Structure 1
Amino acid sequence: MANRKQEIKEYDLMLQKHIDKKDFIKISRTFKDREENIAGFLLAISKDFLLLQIDNEFLLDGYAIIPKTKFDSIRCNRYEKTLKKIHKKEGHLDSQYGIYQNISIKTWQDLFTDLKKADYHVIVECEDNDEPDFTIGPIKKIYKNKVGIQYYDPTGKLDVELTSVPYNEITIIKFGDRYSTTFRKYLRESTRKKS
């Protein structure tokens, strides 16, 4: 047990070095034999979560929170160092790097409370389910073991009922990206009435 605690401490120190050096990293993730990798800048770590600023084709495009139990490895080699140089030369590290809201990543309840307070619409994915789930929308209710999100469909129609997503199924939470921050302006209420 003491050996495992030492391994965790050393791993967290390595993660903190990536934060301190503003390293560009690639996080490898595998679910049901599918790779779901993500890359960007690691901004914060906690006992249970990583907070990442996402790269999307040489642009910084929102953030992701990943449970530490939901990734395989982190890479920072010559390729990632080249991508960091590109972001630096494009001015992103001076103008866009970081997060300006206080988003706690201590517990599920803390992080969803802060995301709700900051009025983010979230994309919550459960990629490890037999049928992967994707839920997008505003956070409406925060429970002990799950979060209630008002899902909207690809036409921008908000569901009447909340979609409940159990914390133990969540593999990634994304927010502040161009997709959700733009689409939210064009949402409409469902005309369906509650039965």
Structure 2
Amino acid sequence: MEIYKDLQKALNAGTYVRLTLADGEHEGFVIALSPALVLLQAIHEWQDVGALVAPVETVEAVEISDYHDDQIKILDFNSVKRTKRYGWVRLGGWQDLFKSLQFKEKFVVVSAEDGTEVGLIDTIEADCVVIKAIDPGGNWQADEVEWPFDDITLVQFDDSYSRTLQRYVEKRASQPTSH
């Protein structure tokens, strides 16, 4: 499994990488790895934009740029460092990942080929996760969404979109309702 070896090298070296997945390219630092899942501290436009987890089997390429050293200098200049803040994330499999995210009460963005949902993890089953989803207007959806592990292509958290929705929902929940 050449991709796994490349991911392991990137993790060990703390190297800035570009991962090619079916949904596109993602840049950042590989900060955790298991045989099943890879955790990337995502970087976009020289900013730390949260974390993403993808199945190792879906990684098509791991690329270290010829400009790696210069890119690291630019990230340092912009005060973006490889982080250890995701040390609590468990990557033993989807169940472990979702349990660790649920424990931290993180809003997540769960993606599959046929769609994406944002929300809180409600329950974790043997073969799926159930999300209490939020619509783009910041409203809880009436029905929960079940995501079979086999269908999940990407999980994101601590990204601007989900963090903003989480803060918005929490603020609305803390405000008294008027009648």
The TM-score normalised by the length of structure 1 is: 0.81
- Tell me how far apart the structure 2 counterparts of residues 80 and 137 of structure 1 sit (CA, whole Å): 35
Residues 1:17 and 2:9 are matched in the alignment: yes
The question of whether the paired residues in 2 share the 8 Å contact of 1:53 and 1:98 is answered with no
Q: Offset at 1:91?
A: 2.2
**For residue 22 of structure 1, what is the amino acid of its counterpart?**
G
Unaligned runs of 5+ in 1: 1-7, 190-195
When residues 80 and 126 of structure 1 are mapped into structure 2, their CA distance, relative to the original with a 3 A threshold, is: farther
Aligned CA-pair RMSD: 1.8
- Aligned residue in 1 for 2:148: 166
Q: Find 1:123's aligned residue among 109, 114, 117.
A: 109
- Whether 1:102 aligns to 2:88 is yes
The alignment's TM-score, normalised by the length of structure 2, stands at 0.87
Q: How many residue pairs are counted as aligned between the two chains? A: 171
Query: For 1:181, which of 163, 166, 172 is the aligned residue?
Result: 163
Tell me if structure 1 keeps the 8 A contact 2:6–2:62: no
Instruction: State the identity as a percent.
Output: 26
Residue 140 of structure 1: which of 108, 117, 122 is its match?
122
Deviates more, 1:11-20 or 1:49-58: 11-20
- Structure 1 partner of 2:98: 112
Aligned equivalents of 2:25 and 2:121: distance in 1? 25
1:109 alignment partner, SS class:
helix
- Cα distance per residue 1:114-161 (max 9 Å; x no partner): 00001110001103xxxx210100000100111000111111110122
Find out whether 1:59 has 2:47 as its counterpart.
yes
Query: Aligned partners of 2:58 and 2:84: how far apart in 1?
Result: 23
Q: Which ranges of 4 or more aligned residues in structure 1 deviate by more than 6 Å?
A: none
Q: Structure 1 residue 101: deviation in Å?
A: 4.6
Shift of residue 80 of structure 1?
4.2
Deviation at 1:107, TM superposition (A): 1.3
| TM-superposed deviation, 1:11 | 4.8
Gaps of 5+ in 2: 174-179
Deviations 1:60-86 (A, max 9, x none): 111001101112111002244432221
2:24 is aligned to: 36
1:192 maps to: none
On the 8 A contact 1:101/1:118 being kept in 2, the answer is no
Deviations 1:27-53 (A, max 9, x none): 1123xxxx5111111001101010000
